[in-house]
Amino acid sequence: MAGNKGRGRAAYTFNIEAVGFSRGEKLPDVVLKPPPLFPDTDYKPVPPKTGEGEDYMLALKQELRETMKRMLYFIETPEEKQDIERYSKRYMKVYKEEWKADWRRLPREMMPRKKSKKADPKSKKAKDTDKGTLLANTADVLKKIEELEKRGNGEKSDEENEEKEGSKEKSKEGDDDDNDNEDAAEEEYAKEEQEEENGYINSYFEDGDDFGAESDDNMDEATY
């Protein structure tokens, strides 16, 4: 086909002159290793712009960096448990408030579900089924709530009962299940806030960190 000139002899398949080398000239060396990591540059980079605007933006940038670290959105990595718990650590901890989102704008599964500290497995199950199944009839929900009240903890404060009654009344007015679920969620929140004031050490069981944190759904064992 295209001129077998090269039997056993080196020949280029293209016109060497087109590439810029003349025939017989010494070709550049073959590259045997990757290029250096930081090659020398012939031309040094231009210094960055200076000016009033640039200075201001620089100061602003550094300030923003510091501010962001202190904001509530910055979630600290939880430290691993050390073997020896230092006494001073308890007093050096900086308590950051929890940032509360607007739950109306977020999907429902976002709401953190609190593990109840008192033994309440059945009510938890009832709440789970509430959220999952289609309860078109508010009367069913009312019945369940009444059952829960009878069964419920003796330690629940009056306000909780009032809230349940409040929710019952609201449901009687014919609101949709949304309210019930919202109240259920609110109840859980209310529980959380009230529990702050009793004698239990809050930090004993952190949220889902070490103790039985495999799944949120199987809350069959009561936690003491």
User: Which positions touch another protein (CB under 8 A)?
Assistant: 2, 13-15, 18-20, 41-43, 45-46, 48-50, 53-54, 56-58, 60-62, 64-65, 67-68, 71, 73-77, 99, 101-102, 104-112, 134-136, 174-178, 181, 207-209, 213, 216
d(CA 123, CA 151): 9
CB of 186 to another protein, least distance (A): 14
Per DSSP, 26 falls in state P
Comparison of 159 and 207: residue with beta carbon closer to another protein: 207
Comparison of 41 and 218: residue with beta carbon closer to another protein: 41
Give the helix ranges, DSSP H, for the chain.
Answer: 16-19, 52-70, 87-92, 121-132, 138-151, 158-172, 177-195
Comparison of 39 and 199: residue with beta carbon closer to another protein: 39
d(CA 148, CA 146): 5
Comparison of 20 and 199: residue with beta carbon closer to another protein: 20
CB of 59 to another protein, least distance (A): 9
Comparison of 25 and 84: residue with beta carbon closer to another protein: 25
CB of 154 to another protein, least distance (A): 27
What does the block give as tokens for 138?
A: 């508010």
CB of 5 to another protein, least distance (A): 12
Identity at 77, one-letter amino acid code: T
CB of 55 to another protein, least distance (A): 9
Question: Which is nearest to 128 in space by CA: 139, 106, 144, 117?
Answer: 144
DSSP string, 143-192: HHHHHHHHHS-TT--HHHHHHHHHHHHHHHTT--HHHHHHHHHHHHHHHH
CB of 195 to another protein, least distance (A): 15
Comparison of 2 and 30: residue with beta carbon closer to another protein: 2
Question: Which is nearest to 108 in space by CA: 209, 182, 13?
Answer: 182
